[in-house]
Amino acid sequence: MPVSRIIAVVSGGIDSVTMAHHLKNQGHDLHVLSIDYGQRHRRELECARAVADRLDASYEQVDLSAAKSIFRGSSLTDPSVEVPRIDDAPPVNPNIVPNRNAVLLSIAFVSAVVENADAVAFGVIADDVGPSDTSPEFLQKFLEMEQVATRGSARPGLSLLAPLVTLHKTDVVVLGDELGVPWEETWTCFRGEQIHCGECAACAERRGAFTEVGIRDPMPYRE
């Protein structure tokens, strides 16, 4: 792939942070974009900024925090909804924010037009099988929509990349470790606390992946 100007949507979690390192390692020019949509796990925004500093990339944080009112009912944005333990998950997953990725990607494509970028990069992985807005089908359809929406204003051939979409969480940990990702500058826990809770679905997935591949996770866990 030739060197490109890429809008890297970075949440601050291990998937998107590894994606940014991967793209930078390939020689691309990154504009790191993080979005505050009112998430309770706000530590991830600090980690997103740290990625840009570390990779000498431009950085932009978009304030959509008022959107948490319309995102009510999700444990990620609504303080009245408890983040469940991994072993006590209800039938309907409260950790899903409906249509969130469509909102985030819409903002990213605005940035792509303004920054005259060649592509938007999104850090979905093979394990993201719950919400339908992480599927390859969604990404393809979204790109088709944006090709119409940005016609005449975007750079010709503006694309949507998902460079980690075939990787599982264990693969991401291995790749990130090879790229020198400082895991202590990533955030995973869904709860907005000082350290990882160790009992939500995100913590369980992270701990399990590091344990399975035999790589030490430097982040402390409450449990």
The answer to whether position 190 is within a domain reads no
The answer to whether position 33 is within a domain reads yes
The answer to whether position 203 is within a domain reads no
Q: Which residues constitute the domain of residue 98?
A: 5-168
The answer to whether position 212 is within a domain reads no
The answer to whether position 174 is within a domain reads no
Rounded Cα distance, 132 and 83, in Å: 20
Please tell me the predicted confidence (pLDDT) of residue 88.
80
Please tell me the predicted confidence (pLDDT) of residue 131.
67
Please tell me the predicted confidence (pLDDT) of residue 68.
86
Please tell me the predicted confidence (pLDDT) of residue 139.
96
Domain count, the chain: 1
SS3 at position 6: strand
Rounded Cα distance, 216 and 147, in Å: 42
155 near 117, Cβ under 8 Å?
Answer: yes
Positions in the chain whose pLDDT score sits under 70: 1, 3, 129-131
Q: What is the Cα 175 distance to its own chain's centre?
A: 16
DSSP element (H, E) containing 120: strand 119-121
The answer to whether position 199 is within a domain reads no
The answer to whether position 189 is within a domain reads no
Please tell me the predicted confidence (pLDDT) of residue 92.
78
Looking up residue 163, the CATH number of its domain turns out to be 3.40.50.620
The answer to whether position 200 is within a domain reads no
pTM assigned to the model: 0.95
